Chain A
């Protein structure tokens, strides 16, 4: 017996189906599949739950969601690449316009000007904050953007080796490894000193084979890297300098463009995108003008109609997979347009002053938390180098224990570094965004400072 609940998304009635089958000279729906050989026809019934009515579905989903601890119900000091920044209400309201979220890739520009213009504005804003000349229309996330930048650097330089700082996000390093080594190219890492890239080790490892030097700023430890010195070393050896940067920090910190980077990438999640258990977020990728035809992914440009009116269209498509097939700069096709539009809305709302204010609040609050926690005597700073909104403490109490106690007080504690940096078994990485109130920070300090149970 067919359950009626499943049919709400399918308009054809039984009668219409019969009419259409008759027009085709078929007697049953089964005949539609006569081209499928008998031996690969699925005979049974798929073993799936459902079909649920909308009411049943909502209550099931609500129950699942309720079994998670969400960030509205606690104070989150966890960052490590995904940050709890405030998202103004207008962002989601605009994203919920069906014309943005139910449309496809803008292949027909005349009826896709909304998406195209929003992406053009996004590209302009990314160029502005990164100090670069050209931006594409978004990548999957920061990690895949860094991996694509590595491939791009190899193809530009004709070299096959990538040198990356160990202070880059561990998951980004893994993604670079997957992209590069599966392509039969090499990846090598260089270490850190006092939380910053080890320039001496970089000098030793950089060679005439090095296609790119990869650095993150602020790095995974929250520490600000000496970008200009790294750029100088990379360029002296004919390698490109790829900087992965945090977009909020760029309101205050020297941009990749100002620091001599050739390609800038990063995670755009902090710009108006919800955390969503790690995705969808988006990645950005921007570069110097001379590399534009080597960039991966979609790019929107200005195009004029026959009356000379300004419009927008996907451009430089000769780089892309649907035209160039195996000779394309990348296989990326679907990107993260809606997330990029969220960033354009967010950056429009914050504007030139608002982004600076957000960055300053993060800095001041992070600094306050850092002083209060180190003042307890229980935590030592891991490094003495400058940081932005995140910092590493070495804890005398086992970090797992500490985080469990905090959780009992509705506080999500820092990221335990031992998993990725065994040399810091007590390392605890804390992030403080503009959302953390003084009261929450004081509560963190009070509970963290308390005796371990």
Chain B
């Protein structure tokens, strides 16, 4: 087994440098307008003293301790770890996209503005919404922005009693957290035995205090909320709005549109559905789309086309304002735009078909070896439970996940959704072929057998990684969050 990589601070030598800079080519002037002693930094910087080759080798070795989509199967449920097309990286790095300043005169960035305008239009077409803001930087940021729009809408109508946001118990944790960020009271909606929102329970929770309902469809169990039309009607009937968490849009591209289901506000995760690489945890992008009556509340500016020229429209008196600087994660927008153009309408439909086919095929192969909490066709991801292994031989979802690492796979999402005990949430995506799914299914079956025959093999897994299972509880008890010499 390899030794862990040293920290960059544990390398180098005093006086070693990794930079080169030109000498100062302007005449140097005395200092009256510059910082006096009062403003000067007192302590020296403790940054590393390393050469360029040290830096390149260090980070290259670090990269080799990571697992990426380009290396292998990454069935992380709800995260849609599909393949990230290489050409998107090439085009996003064109200097006409990567080397432009957000405050340049509009006439010098017509290409970038056109791209944003067209992307907004494409996302509207795909989701059935009236218009989009591309400003939010991530899914949760989109949720918060969407909820601001809902809040601004009710406030505009002087409907100020609406303090509650309804969230299903199976929802992503970001949903309740985003609602709380805006001072909303979160009301949990229990799922029924079919794994979907119970219409009668929902109706009993609706009132004049309901600002809205947040829903993922298909939901986090990988199931389509087939009562979505009556659900949306009930919420609208109570005066609330319906919010669509777009984390699972991959399943329904070209098959069904949130706008047609009655959703008023939608956020999309461009880093999921539209194949932007996730960067080890960002940057992503979380554009927000709205129905016609909510368009005036979108964050500003909005790109508009007038007389053949693209403009940034800041004159939007009802806008919720800004949630970040400039216009959003433009670099991510470029990748999503390129992806949609690569696929076209028929290609996006193929995405949904293959994603759903792959998930159902895997579910079918795992049935009988793992417990299936909701035995019905799934959408683009499936949830199985290790509770059978837990009961029979004390093996948890965590143990199964860690053992999968030994077999060369990135594990599925574990312990989510919260409503399923010992959950494994598996999302193969459309960019995997049948061969990969077969090998994965066989491995999962092998692990289930190992759980009975040699449980310690799972308890101690993973065995072949640079570090074995880490004690995260101890780490949180006495946190060490930075290097100290």
Chains A and B come from one and the same complex = yes
B287 an interface residue at 8 Å Cβ cutoff?
no
Stretch in A10-18, A198-206, A207-215, A233-241 with 4+ CB within 8 Å of B: A10-18
**Cβ A175 vs Cβ B322 within 8 A:** yes
Q: Which residues of A contact B143 (CB under 8 A)?
A: 331
How large, as a class, is the contact surface on chain A? 35 or more
Please name the residue on chain A nearest to B55 by beta carbon. Answer: A348
Q: Which residues of B contact A453 (CB under 8 A)?
A: none
- A sample of 10 more A-B contacts (CB under 8 A), given A10-B351, A334-B283, is A8-B342, A21-B357, A52-B342, A90-B18, A102-B278, A103-B67, A121-B7, A302-B475, A331-B140, A407-B108
**Cβ A65 vs Cβ B471 within 8 A:** no
**Cβ B181 vs Cβ A331 within 8 A:** yes
- Which has the most chain B C-beta neighbours within 10 Å: A133, A277, A370? A277
Q: Beyond A101-B68, A183-B183, is A331–B482 a contact (Cβ under 8 Å)? A: no
Among B435-485, those with CB < 8 Å from A are 436, 460, 462, 465-472, 474-476, 479-483
Task: Give A61 to B94 CA distance when docked, in angstroms.
Answer: 9
**Cβ A386 vs Cβ B261 within 8 A:** no
B42 an interface residue at 8 Å Cβ cutoff?
yes
Interface residues as binary, A154-182 with B (CB distance below 8 Å gives 1, 0 otherwise): 00000000000000010110110111001
- Which has the most chain A C-beta neighbours within 10 Å: B17, B84, B411? B17
Q: Beyond A94-B56, A301-B481, A357-B21, is A278–B174 a contact (Cβ under 8 Å)? A: no
**Cβ B49 vs Cβ A351 within 8 A:** yes
The B interface is mostly helix, strand or loop, or mixed, namely: loop
Pairs A–B under 8 Å by Cβ, sample size 6: A10-B354, A50-B341, A64-B114, A109-B472, A110-B405, A279-B283
Q: Which residues of B contact A48 (CB under 8 A)?
A: 122, 125-126, 340, 344-345, 348
Q: Beyond A32-B356, A347-B47, is A50–B472 a contact (Cβ under 8 Å)? A: no
Task: Give A150 to B228 CA distance when docked, in angstroms.
Answer: 38
A219 an interface residue at 8 Å Cβ cutoff?
no
**Cβ B98 vs Cβ A178 within 8 A:** no
**Cβ A327 vs Cβ B476 within 8 A:** no
Q: Beyond A71-B99, A337-B281, is A57–B470 a contact (Cβ under 8 Å)? A: no
A423 an interface residue at 8 Å Cβ cutoff?
no
Q: Which residues of B contact A71 (CB under 8 A)?
A: 95, 99-101
B114 to chain A, nearest CB (A): 6
Task: Give A16 to B410 CA distance when docked, in angstroms.
Answer: 24
B256 an interface residue at 8 Å Cβ cutoff?
yes
Task: Give A155 to B137 CA distance when docked, in angstroms.
Answer: 24
Interface residues as binary, B69-97 with A (CB distance below 8 Å gives 1, 0 otherwise): 11100101001011111010111011111
Residue from A45, A118, A184 in contact with B345 in the complex, judged by beta carbons closer than 8 Å? A45
A193 an interface residue at 8 Å Cβ cutoff?
no
A90 to chain B, nearest CB (A): 6
**Cβ B39 vs Cβ A386 within 8 A:** yes
B176 an interface residue at 8 Å Cβ cutoff?
yes
**Cβ B102 vs Cβ A275 within 8 A:** yes
Residue from B28, B96, B358, B467 in contact with A305 in the complex, judged by beta carbons closer than 8 Å? B467
Stretch in B197-205, B235-243, B324-332, B387-395 with 4+ CB within 8 Å of A: B324-332
**Cβ B109 vs Cβ A7 within 8 A:** no
A251 an interface residue at 8 Å Cβ cutoff?
yes
Interface residues as binary, A14-30 with B (CB distance below 8 Å gives 1, 0 otherwise): 00110111011000010
